[in-house]
Structure 1
Amino acid sequence: MAETLTRPASRAGDSGDDTDGVDYVARARSIKPLIDAEADTMEAQATITAPVVDALAENGLFWLLVPREYGGAGQDIVTSLKVVEELARADGSVGWAFMANAFSTGIAVGYFPEDGAREMFAGPDKGITAGMILPTGKGVRVDGGYRVTGSYGFGSGSHHASWIGAGFVVHDEDGNPETNGEAPVCRVAFLPRDQVEFLGGWNVMGMVATGSDNYRVDGVFVPESHTMDTFSTVPTRPEPVYKLGLLGIGVGGHAPVALGIAQRALEEIARIASTKARPGYPTVIGDSDMFRREFVAHEATLQAARRYVYDVHADAEAAAAAGEEISDEQRARLRQAATWVQKVAQDIVTWAYNWGGSASIRNPSVLGRCLRDISVGAQHLLVEPMTLVEASGPILAGYLKEN
């Protein structure tokens, strides 16, 4: 494929080729042949295979959002999103699971106490995180930390993760929930994987290879240094990227997964249409005016969606880098973009799938996998359409300001 996608650079000053001379986006792109070769095996095993995990680790991709001080890549948010897009372009499940790993790692390193973050990420065996951080468990406060119990689901990327997330509501020694005066006190813990019981349960139509299993934690002690405030807005690290906050980092990663899947669908249908004949078409379907007009229109929509996703993230991080508060409207646009792009991608993938005909429905089929993956990815609660309603207030307010 000709490289036509500009994938705009972060206004905070990065395009993937940072001052360390490493182009992490190119590294992600270079793994695509391996991912293609492993795709069917990954789907059959419902997890990313060891060769792909090893390639991600050897290229330093899991630690994009770990600061250089700890030996990570120290990348900005836009470069990190681009890497996710490239991996999702190769395979939706790989992009999704990687996003869950790298972006939960970014949250942990940005908001954990320094001693805990260093222990997990600064040594030679850098941690890979995964798991559910919403406060569905219970953590009893004890000397030095918490004793955590809970059942969790959707542990995307957990098969190869070394630290597993467990969100919990804090309880006192008598078993009573603690409050801050208005709401329960909630925290996120990351536990060594050998302290977690995995339950399986990931039997789904799409995003099959994410290995998003259920798991259980039963009375495990977690030191304070391995926990963080679930709803913190103040990072423990100074880098601008962490000022995007838990939602800014955690939700934003869903957008490039959708972009990557849609991009792959367009690539596949362009290839198929160049040789596919159908009754009623004088030559191959790729020569028809109808196909070409629709292809170009969908491709323009994808380019516009990509530009908007990267622009709103770049704007927010640039504000943080300049020492400004990220505005309510900027945060609302982060939510808007991440949710809106799901529908854009679904429309593009569905269009490509329908043009693929029998090439779409026979297993294994890249277009079939794209359709199943985008259909499942768009169901995530973080990109639920109601989030557009939540985002509407600050965006509408911007239109109502006096000029």
Structure 2
Amino acid sequence: MTANTDTAERHAPASSETPVTADQMIARAEAMVPELIERQAETEARGFYAEDTHERFARNGFYRILVPRRYGGHELGIDTFFRVCVTLARGCGSTGWMFGLGTSHGQVAASIFGERAQEEMFAGGDFICPGTAIPRGTAVPAAGGGWTVNGTWPYCSGSPYGTHFMGHAMLPAEDGKPPTQLLFVAPRSQWERLDDWGQQLGMRGSGSHGITMENVHIPPHLGLPGVQLVQYDATAGTPGRTLHGNPEYGGGPLSFINFLNCSIMVGMAQGALDAYEHLLRERTTLVPPVVPRYLDPDYQVWYGEAVGMIGTAEAALMNGVQQWHDAAVRGPSAVTPDLDLRLSAISRHVATIAWSAVDQIILPTAGSSAIKHGERLERVWRDLSTLRTHAGLSILLPTIAMRELAKSVVS
């Protein structure tokens, strides 16, 4: 079942805006934070952010931050993109996640797909491409070339306003070898969004609906057989680095994805800190001497600890992003799988610190009245708790990625 909110056809083919700076883009995101806070309840009830919010994002140029300039994008880089993600998540975690997961694949598409594919994918200007790294369904070679794809992919965040979908399907085994994966991109006309999101504990407004495809033809230029996104090796260079002359279109994909996940956690932790600061100003201590909480030495310590932890998480995130950028500038040989894993390890601890600041300091000392249904802190805690169950953050990153990092160093 689909809703009637899909708006891919209404996107302008190219931006007529005067080139915008990174600071201007971040300021536009900051200006939207009060509105996103105010509309959190309706976003949860709907299951995704409102169409007028989506249209404002489009006018602000958010959907073009990672799109190459040659296709009407702003090409502002991942630093700006992640700062916008942090800022939007500070206002509403669901909105930040839906935006980030829907838009981030512009970086992937501009990096690893060829020129013909990019001309098609970015023809609409705005690029919103939900995706999943978990392979589902099947891809069978088609008679005239390309593949016929069938399957259903859950948790496709950003799908309500998606212009494309990026997924993995299993190719049949050949010559006694195990089956491989096909990484593909399908335009909006080739898939349906399911009405299957909104009942989770948190992140209810993240637009993480499932996507289904039936007998869809994927032409050769929109499919990459044998490619698994998080294992993509960029050390030999990428089509995007060559095509656009921008080294960031040749950076490590695994750490980029982990930076994205952690940027939303940092933003939500900042939102929790904002709510906590409000409580310190508005509420008093429980026992004499009864004073505003912000004047109490214990609350001052707790607040200072939370500020330091969340600031540390943000600093580590942005330092990791800078290392990622510097390696890309040095050249393909510097974008090693080892570096990708090391930066992913930083991401793991960014997420842990952000979560700990909220779960161990802010939430226990805020009091039970601060987590009544509908309170901002209650919603942030639910969103963070749910994001902690994301397979990439809770299972794959702490286990497989850390083992592979150790093996790459001590083997």
Length-normalised TM-score, structure 2: 0.84
Aligned to 1:268: 275
Aligned to 2:316: 308
Gaps of 5+ in 1: 1-17, 172-176
Task: State the distance in 2 between where 1:49 and 1:337 align.
Answer: 34
Q: CA RMSD in A?
A: 2.5
Superposed displacement of residue 292, structure 1: 0.7
Is the 2:252–2:324 Cα contact (8 Å) retained in structure 1?
no
For residue 196 of structure 2, the aligned residue among 175, 195, 201 is: 201
- Tell me, yes or no, if structure 1 residue 237 matches structure 2 residue 240: yes
Opposite residue 370 of structure 1, the aligned amino acid is: V
Equivalent residue for 2:373, pick from 346, 349, 363 = 363
- What SS does the corresponding residue of 2:21 show, helix, strand or coil? coil
Partner residue, 2:8: none
2:386 to 369, 373, 376: 376
Once the two structures are superposed, residues 74-108 of structure 1 have per-residue CA deviations (whole angstroms, 9 ceiling, x without a partner) of: 12222221111011111101111111112122112
Instruction: Assess if the C-alpha contact under 8 Å between 1:137 and 1:166 holds in 2.
Output: no
Partner of 2:295: 287
- Structure 2 residue matching 1:136: 3-state secondary structure: coil
Instruction: State the secondary structure of the residue aligned to 1:147.
Output: strand
Alignment of 1:1-400 (within 5 A): 20-23=20-23, 24-121=25-122, 123-142=123-142, 143-171=144-172, 177-178=173-174, 184-202=179-197, 203-228=199-224, 229-231=227-229, 232-234=232-234, 235-238=238-241, 239-281=246-288, 282-323=290-331, 324-350=333-359, 351-384=361-394, 387-392=397-402
Quick one: which amino acid aligns to residue 276 of structure 1? R
Q: In 2, Cα distance between the equivalents of 1:385 and 1:195?
A: 31
| CA shift digits 1:247-284 (9 cap, x unpaired) | 12222201110100111111111111112124215212
Does the aligned pair in 2 maintain the 1:352–1:367 contact within 8 Å?
no
**Cα displacement (A) at 1:390:** 4.3
User: How has the CA–CA distance of structure 1 residues 286 and 134 changed in structure 2, closer, same or farther, with 3 Å as cutoff?
Assistant: same
Deviations 1:310-345 (A, max 9, x none): 112211221211224124443222211222222212
Q: Which residue of 2 aligns with 1:8?
A: none
Report the TM-score when normalising by structure 1: 0.86
Q: Which runs of 5+ in 2 are unaligned?
A: 1-17
- Offset at residue 58 of structure 1 (A): 1.0
Identical amino acids, percent of aligned pairs: 24
- Are the equivalent residues in 2 in contact too, given 1:163–1:190 (CA < 8 A)? yes
8 Å CA contact 2:191–2:211 kept in 1: the answer is: yes
SS of residue matched to 2:183 = strand
Q: Taking structure 1 as reference, are residues 185 and 39 closer, same or farther at Cα in structure 2, changes over 3 Å only?
A: same
Letter in 2 for 1:371: W
